[in-house]
Amino acid sequence: MTLALILAIITLVLLIAVFAAAGTAKLARLDGATYPTALTRAAIAFTATLTLATAITGALAATLK
């Protein structure tokens, strides 16, 4: 794999995580949550997305060995 492809994949995963967090925050605000609560939910969604991406990467790396 080239460095450009790896950087593109990392960028894509981070963008997906940011969009998931933004969507979660927006839905929390529409549900009537306060700003701190919405930011907390967004942070949890961001972290969960990155954790899932890491787990999938680890599983694929173990499978491809």
Q: Which residues of 26-35 are buried (b: 16+ CB within 10 A; e: fewer)?
A: eebbeeeeee
Cβ within 8 Å of residue 43, ≥6 positions away? 21
Contact present, 23 and 46 (Cβ < 8 Å): no
Tens digits of per-residue pLDDT, 4-61? 988 999 999 999 999 999 999 999 999 999 999 999 999 999 999 999 999 999 999 8
